[in-house]
Chain A
C-alpha cells in the first residue's frame, strides 16, 4: 500500500504488458518473440510543477521510494486539491478486466502460429508477388491507476491480429500494400483466406495497370479507412485541447457551437464504441465517454486531459493517454470516426461523373494542411470505379475541406490497425481506431 505524501497531488500508473510477435518471410520463420514488461509512471504535483518518473522497478517499496524522491523536489501546497487540474481528476474506484478470461496470454504460441500459416498457400496463387511477409501480433495490457485523491482503477485492453504485407513486381512495375485482420480476442480471430485473396488480386491489378493521374482538384470518394484517417488527421488532432492552451485566438476560432461543415457531418471520438480505442478509463484514471467533435456540422467538443480540462474550465473527456509507462499523458484520440449517413454507397457513386476513389492508405498527417498518401486509388468515371491511378499525396486545408463534404454513405466500418498507430510529438504508434462511412468530398487537391 502506497503512502502518499501530504499537501501534494500524487498518482501512480502501473502497467503489465504482454505481447506476442510471430513473423514469417515467405514461409520462413523470421522472428517469434514473447515480451512481458512491467513498469510504472509516477507523478507528483505541487500546484505549480509536475515531478515525474518512469521506472521498471514496480515493487511497492520501489514505487514508494520513487514517490518520496519526487516529493522531495516539490514544494508542498495545502491548497493543491483545489487546483483546476487536480479538480479535473476524478477519484474513480473500479475494476474492469474485460479480457482476463480470454487473454491472449492463455493461448498456445503454436496455435497462434498455425492461424497465421494457414493463409500461406494463397500467396502461391499470385505469380507477381515478389516478396511477402506475414505477421501475427497480440497485446494484452493491464493498467492500475492509484492516486492520492483516492482513485483506484484497474482495467485491461487487448488486440490480436494478422498482417499480410506484399510486394509485387512485373518488369519495371512495383507495388507494395498490406492487409490486416484484427479482433479484440483470439477467439474472434478467424482464418480469412478469401479476404487475403481479394486483396492480392486487387493489388495485382493495380500494379499492372496504374497510370499517373494529372495533379489537380478532384471529387474524391474516401473508403472507410481513408475516411477514418481523414477524420483522425484533419480534425481529430485539431480537437486535442493542448494545442489550444495559451492562445485565446485559437479558442475563438474553435468556439463550440460554430458551424464548420454541412449538417450531414458528425465526427465522434469515443472510448466506448469498440475498436482498440475502447477503454473504460484513460491513463489519469478518468472515465472515458463518447465525445462529439462535430455534431450536425457544428463544433461540439474537444479532447481533454485533466490539465487541459482544468485550464479551459471544461469537463474532462477521458482522453489523457500515454504510449506506455515510459511516457506522460497528453490529450490523444481513442476511436475516431465519422457517423454514417442514410444513402447507400451505390447512390453516392452514381452521382460522380469524374472522380477518384481512395481505397487504401499508406499514411496521413494533420497540420493546417492535412495529407493522405494513398496506396491504391482508382478513377471513377460515370459512376463506375474504373482504372487504377497513381497518386503521391492528397491534401487540403482542414476547414475548407470540411465544407466540401458532399455526402456520407450508410455503410460503415471501424478499423483497429495492428500495424502502426497514431503519432504525436515523440509518442508514436499509440493504438487508436478510426473509420466511418464512404465519404464524398469535392475539390480535393491531388499531387
Chain B
C-alpha cells in the first residue's frame, strides 16, 4: 500500500478590462489536494479544495478502494526534483499601476479600438510526493495578456486578440507587440495571388498540431481506431518534421515538467515523430502497460481524477533560427484567428480564417481579408512543411511558429 499526495495551487491577480479601461481587480488563491492510495493493482483517490485535512482524506481514500478502479502499475519512485520558473512577481500595487498605464497608452494611441477581457499575474504551483521517495515540485510565475480587441464600427464581436505569456516584466514588450498588430490591423492588404501560400501558425494552441493530440493517443492508436494505427516506423511526414511530447521550460506557461503520474522524461521531452518517421504514440502508465507501448509521461487528468492518457503537450521541434529564415525572403500569412476548423475522418483540415496578417518574417505588413485554409495532414507536415521556430520576431514572451504551405480559398 502506498500513499501519494498531489497538490495544485493557483495564486492569481487579474486586472479586468472593459471598454478600454481597467474596471476591476480580482484575487484568487485556490489550493487543491488529492490523496492517492495504491493497493493490490488498484487506485483510490480522495480530493479536497482549501485547507486539507489529511486524516479525513485518508479515511475517504481507504473507503474509495471499494470502488475497484484498476491500476495495475507501480507508482513512480526515487526521484527528487524541483523546478522554479520565472522571477518573483511584482507587487499587486505595481501590477495594477502598470495595467492602468498600459490601457491608458492603448486608449490614447488606438482610439478606434475597443479593448476587453484581462491581464493576469499568475503563480502556479504543482507537486507530487509519495512514500516511495518521489518528491517533485514545480512553480511557474508569469504574466498573461488575454486582451480582446474590436475595431470601432466592425460588424464582428471580436476582431482579434493580444495574447502572450511572459516570465519577465511584460509591459514594454507587449506594448510593442500591440502597436505592431493594431497598426497593421488598420492597414488592409490584398491576399497574394495564387492558391498555395506559406501559412504561419502560432505555436500556442496550434490547430494543426491538435491532429496529433487525437490521432497519437496511445489507446486509440493501439485499438486500431487512429488514422495513424499500424504506421509505426513508417516515413509519414517530411524528414524535417520532429514532434515531441514536451514539458520543457519554454513550453506553454504553467506546464509542469512531470505528468500526473510523476513521470519525468529526459530533457523533459519524449520523441514521437523523428525525421518524419512515426516512433511512438503518447501514453500514460495504464495505456503503456495494457498495449505494450513506450511510457511517454503523458498522463493527465484533474487533481482528483485517476490519471488518464490526456496529458499530451505536442510540440514540433525547431528547424530554423527565426521566422525570417523559414520564409527565406518571401512573405507568409500569419494566422491571428482561425476559429472553428477541424480535420475530417480522413485527415483533411479546413478552417475559416477570421483574421490574418501578411508577414515578411520580421514584421507585419498589413491585415488580410477573410479566407479559408485547407490541406491534408500528410501534406501539411509532409511536402508542404516549411519549418518551425521557437521565437518570435519581436523577441518578447513565449511562443514561436509552425509554418506550412496551405491551400487558400477566398470568400
Contacts and interface: CB of A to CB of B under 8 A. Distances in A.
Contacts of B51: 57
B395 interface: no
A38 B306 contact: no
Interface in B260-312: 286, 301, 304-306, 308
A52 B24 contact: yes
Contacts of B301: 31
A interface secondary structure, majority: strand
Given A33-B45, A131-B223, A368-B156, A50 B114 contact: no
Contacts of A57: 50-51
Interface string B349-381: 111101000000000000000101010000000
From A38, A364, A369, residue with most partner B Cβ within 10 Å: A369
A109 B47 CA distance: 17
Interface in A212-254: 212, 215, 233, 237-238, 240, 242-243, 245-247, 249-250, 253
Interface string A248-262: 011001000000000
A84 B274 CA distance: 60
A425 B157 CA distance: 13
A307 interface: yes
A373 B340 contact: yes
B354 A368 contact: yes
A240 to B, nearest CB: 8
B67 A371 contact: no
Given A30-B308, A245-B114, A425-B146, A369 B370 contact: yes
B342 A109 contact: no
B20 A371 contact: no
A212 B229 contact: no
Contact of A249 (B22, B49, B153, B157): B153
B306 A175 contact: no
B27 A53 contact: yes
Contacts of A176: 225, 345
Interface stretch (A87-95, A184-192, A287-295, A385-393): A385-393
A60 interface: no
Given A367-B158, A390-B346, A393-B340, A38 B69 contact: no
Given A245-B18, A245-B114, A368-B155, A393 B342 contact: yes
B290 to A, nearest CB: 9
Interface string B16-31: 1011101111111111
Interface residues of B, number: 71
B339 interface: yes
Given A390-B344, A390-B345, A326 B374 contact: no
A362 B224 contact: no
A168 B226 CA distance: 9
From A25, A176, A368, A425, residue with most partner B Cβ within 10 Å: A368
Nearest to B115: A246
Contacts of B148: 425
B26 A31 contact: no
A30 B19 contact: no
A37 B49 CA distance: 7
A360 interface: no
A366 B148 CA distance: 15
A54 B225 contact: no
B157 A367 contact: yes
A29 interface: yes
Interface string A21-43: 10001001111110101110000
A131 B220 contact: yes
B6 to A, nearest CB: 13
A53 to B, nearest CB: 5
A169 interface: yes
28 contacts: A29-B67, A29-B70, A32-B68, A35-B304, A37-B49, A50-B16, A50-B23, A53-B28, A55-B29, A130-B223, A130-B224, A168-B225, A174-B227, A207-B345, A243-B158, A245-B18, A247-B154, A249-B153, A366-B340, A367-B158, A368-B157, A372-B340, A390-B344, A393-B342, A395-B340, A395-B352, A399-B155, A447-B352
Given A174-B227, A367-B157, 19 more contacts: A32-B64, A32-B69, A33-B45, A33-B306, A38-B50, A50-B16, A54-B26, A131-B220, A168-B225, A367-B339, A368-B155, A372-B340, A392-B350, A393-B351, A425-B118, A426-B118, A426-B146, A447-B351, A447-B409
